[in-house]
Amino acid sequence: MPEPLFRHPSRSEIIELAVAEGHDADILSNAGSIRRIPSHSPSQHPEKDSSFIIEKDTEKATEEESISSDEEVEDVAEHGPDIVFWDGPDDPQNPMNWASAKKWGTVALVSAITFLTPLASSMFAPGVPEVMKTFNSTDEMLEGFMVSVYVLGFAIGPMIIAPLSEMYGRLPLYHSCNSFFVLFCVAAALSTNMSMFIAFRFFMGCFGGAPLVLGGGTIADLITREQRGTAMVVWMMGPTIGPCVGPIIGGFLTEAKGWRWNFWFVAIVAGAFLVLSIILMNETSAPVILERKAKRLRASTGNPKLRSKLASELSAKDLFKFSIVRPVKMLTRSYICLAMSIYVAITYAYLYVLFTTFTAVFKTQYGWHGGIVGLSFLGLGLGSLIGQTVFTHYGNRTATKHIARGDFKPEHRLYIMAAGGPFLPVGLFWYGWSVQAQTHFMVPIVGTGVIGFGLLMTFMPASTYLVDVYTIHAASAMAANTVLRSLAAALLPLSSQKMYTAMGYGWGNSLLGFVGLLLVPIPFLFIKYGERIRKGNVVKL
């Protein structure tokens, strides 16, 4: 039986759990927080007030603080008769003590929802020409934007969902966001003009981002550290593989039933998941469960002093401030966050350039029609899957080796990024010129596999690097990264059709490849100068 939090958790444990839950480590989690953030004014002697914030420069953390410090941190609340916590190590209310079937059933359901919503981002891509005919549009910009606008919702929705989940728990956000997601899927299927369709796609993305925000925290609530890695890998397959699998399904579905059935299909499956989640899922956030327990006890005992050991002293205003303002500060003031975010944003945008053009490319160059067009996305999906596997194995092995030696630096995360970065431009050159020459269709599909591999080998190491650099503010760095990449993925594909018309598929993709080549030195520069930059470029939050 896992041991609930009766001992003071270490700094690294709190940071790890906070990252999984998608918030900074100075915001309360199941393990507490790095420091208290009082809603009242601090004392006149902050050095003597254990709950007073002393803001720390984000990037001045030592190596020990940033990855493996086991120093004990201030407990989230004092022990006393008015403090409400778990009723012993076997308390059945503690999600860590739930039956295995209930825990893993919840993880499976959350992972399925997390797979469905990214899948919906690109599922109808093969049906884009049919949508254009339905709405009598020939605007090439709208042709790309109707696919990528979904990702714009991914940038905006989570910024609001994250602080709301800290205030009200995970379950209300799952249910409400899933309900709205189904509603806007139905609305998109029933759209009667292009404006309606694009607006509903945007709101699908806003609410579809909920499992991406909440899923990691749910897994961290339920699964012990020893078993959490497996669950997180399964959960992460949604955002990495889902967008590549979607068009394969969508291609055949569009041919058989028309483009609207892509949305009916998603609405039906999402609706089934919603019903299952209402029936089977329970709240897993320890602060919320304990707060409800404290409220019941205050009512039954008449003691107004009772409060949860994990009670948050953050106001709603502070939660939204940290969720929105901190990422903007990091993106505008930190060289590391800005450079990594630009790299990831450009490479992620390339993914949606391909999503919005594959159908036209394989129709015009290879004469593919109907459901078979969806198979053009297969190489990208397989390449992404291989990239995730390679990163998980070799990236973690490199970090583990240096941690065991005691000389780990965040820059060690970038070795695999430096090795994998060149695959992206190579894949773009391969794909572009093989399509231009109309070689056998397997040649460009293999090229897209190389692109998918390169994407994952840049995206995943950059994310883990930001976590290790920013430690307690890692979630804000990740949010900054997410916003910039989502904006790029929504806007850059708008000009892709015009680019290919003007330059051809060979030189058009070569242009993207040359930009990718310019980005390749970034991890090498940070491997050599990253530590110096971290100490010289300080961001105060």
pLDDT score, position 60: 44
> Among positive and negative, which fits the CA dihedral 409, 413, 419, 422?
negative
- Predicted local confidence at residue 472, as pLDDT: 83
Among 2-6, 20-24, 250-254, name the one with the lowest average pLDDT: 2-6
Sign, CA torsion 371/372/378/380? negative
Q: What are phi and psi of 11, to 5 degrees?
A: -55, -45
Q: Examine the pLDDT at 54 and tell me if it is beyond 60.
A: no
Rounded distance, CA 392 to CA 31, Å? Answer: 26
**Count of other CB atoms within 10 angstroms of residue 127:** 25
Distance CA 318, CA 294 (A): 23
CA 35 to chain centre: 25
For residues 288-315, give the mean pLDDT. Answer: 85
Q: How many CB atoms lie within 10 A of CB 301?
A: 10
Q: Say if residue 223's pLDDT is above 90.
A: no
Q: Which of 289-298, 302-311, 516-525, 531-540 has the highest mean pLDDT?
A: 516-525
Strand partners, 72: 10
pLDDT at 77: 45
CB under 8 A, 24+ apart: contacts of 191-195: 193/135, 194/135, 194/137, 194/142, 194/146
Q: What is the pTM of this model?
A: 0.84
Q: Are 489 and 478 in contact (CB under 8 A)?
A: no
Fold entry, domain 98-303: Growth Hormone; Chain: A; (1.20.1250)
- Domain extent listing, the chain: 98-303
Give the pLDDT mean for 152-173: 87
User: Nearest-CA neighbor of 113 among 178, 161, 163?
Assistant: 178
Residue found under tokens 């940033």:
66
Residue 192 has pLDDT above 90, yes or no: yes
Least confident of 420-434, 464-478, 518-532: 464-478
> How would DSSP label each residue in 125-191?
GGGHHHHHHHTT---HHHHHHHHHHHHHHHHHHHHHHHHHHHHH-HHHHHHHHHHHHHHHHHHHHT-
Q: How many CB atoms lie within 10 A of CB 238?
A: 23
Query: Would you state the pLDDT for residue 37?
Result: 44
Amino acid at 21: E
Judged against a pLDDT cut of 50, whether residue 248 lies above it is answered with yes
Q: Please, is 136 exposed, middle or buried when counting C-beta atoms within 10 Å of its C-beta (0-12, 13-18, 19+)?
A: exposed
pLDDT in tens, 261-281: 999 999 999 999 999 999 999
Rounded mean pLDDT, 485-499: 90
What confidence tier does 425 reach under pLDDT thresholds 50, 70, 90? very high
Q: Are 261 and 251 in contact (CB under 8 A)?
A: no
Rounded CA separation 301/306 (Å)? 9
Check whether 404 has a pLDDT greater than 70: yes
Give the chain's mean pLDDT: 84
Which residue has better confidence, 43 or 378? 378
Higher pLDDT, 142 or 50: 142
Amino acid type, 176: S
pLDDT digits (tens, 9 = 90+) for 77-131: 455 677 888 888 888 888 989 999 999 999 999 999 999 999 998 898 898 989 9
C-alpha R_g of the chain: 24
Q: Inform me whether the pLDDT recorded for 505 exceeds 90.
A: yes
Non-local (6+) Cβ contacts of 367 within 8 A are none
